[in-house]
Structure 1
Amino acid sequence: MSKDDLKEAEALGRDLMWILGLIMHSGPEDRQRIALAYNQAQELVASIPKDNGDARPRIVACFERSDTYKAADDVACAGWLLTGMQERVNERDLPDWRKLRKIINNTVKMLTPPKPTIH
């Protein structure tokens, strides 16, 4: 692994912590907005073919959309960023990618409202 890979993994970790904080401090409406953006991003990446196995076009599309929402101070940026990060980590070539993937998956679970319990 190169120094650039380590820097990228560290940056992803910082961004993940920011997203987690945003989700934890968001009300139900904002969480729903982030979840909707995440779902839209998932649909978009599914429609973009990989470039000879490279997910870069998918990642760039998500990061660009995230930047647009972030510039407008819209929490939806987190859903787009989360999907872009997920695509990047799924390439499995970053240090600690398994740990990052686990954190991402747990973060996505936080977007889903809890199922009501039946007594």
Structure 2
Amino acid sequence: MKSESEDMSRTLAWACGMVLQSGPDDRRRIALAYQEAQTLIAGIPKDNGDARPRIVACFKRSDTYRADDDIACVGWILTAVQERVNERDLPDWRQFRKVINRTVKLLPLSSSTVH
């Protein structure tokens, strides 16, 4: 479990850094991708309570954007990490959730998407 938390910390730090360093246009692009990811995962059922299918779908989409050097990959990564944290079985899930929520608040989201 420790290494997964470390990986999660690194991934989340990278995503937060990308949001913080982004200008208004890139933040809008990240926000749009985040909203698309939220819509996508809402249609993917959990596997006996396991969010893995949702997480995998987000990482696949993120990889596609990242291959094109598209900042939208960050929105998909944030959603994937958020889904994993929402399972509430990581040792530091509450701290991760706080960081994710603060990061998402930096995005120009339409109010219907914010959880």
Identify whether the pair has TM-score above 0.5, normalized to the shorter chain.
yes
Please name the residue that 2:107 is paired with.
111
Residue identity opposite 1:19 in structure 2 = A
> Equivalents in 1 of 2:2, 2:71: separation in Å?
27
1:30-45 alignment to 2 at 5 Å?
Answer: 30-45=26-41
> Equivalents in 2 of 1:103, 1:13: separation in Å?
10
Greater shift in the superposed pair: 73-82 or 104-113:
104-113
Please name the residue that 2:44 is paired with.
48
Q: Does 1:78 align with 2:79?
A: no
Structure 2 gap segments, 5+ residues each: 110-115
Identify which of 96, 99, 103 aligns with 1:100. 96
Please name the residue that 1:17 is paired with.
13
> Equivalents in 2 of 1:17, 1:51: separation in Å?
28
Structure 1 gap segments, 5+ residues each: 114-119
Q: TM-score, length-normalised on structure 1?
A: 0.88
Residue identity opposite 2:96 in structure 1 = L
**CA shift at 1:112, angstroms?**
2.5
What do the CA deviations read for 1:48-98 (whole angstroms, capped 9, x no partner)? 011111111000000111111111110000000000000001011111011
Q: TM-score, length-normalised on structure 2?
A: 0.91
> Equivalents in 1 of 2:21, 2:50: separation in Å?
34
Give the number of equivalent residue pairs: 109
Q: Percent identity?
A: 66
> Equivalents in 2 of 1:70, 1:95: separation in Å?
29
**CA shift at 1:25, angstroms?**
1.2
Please name the residue that 2:23 is paired with.
27
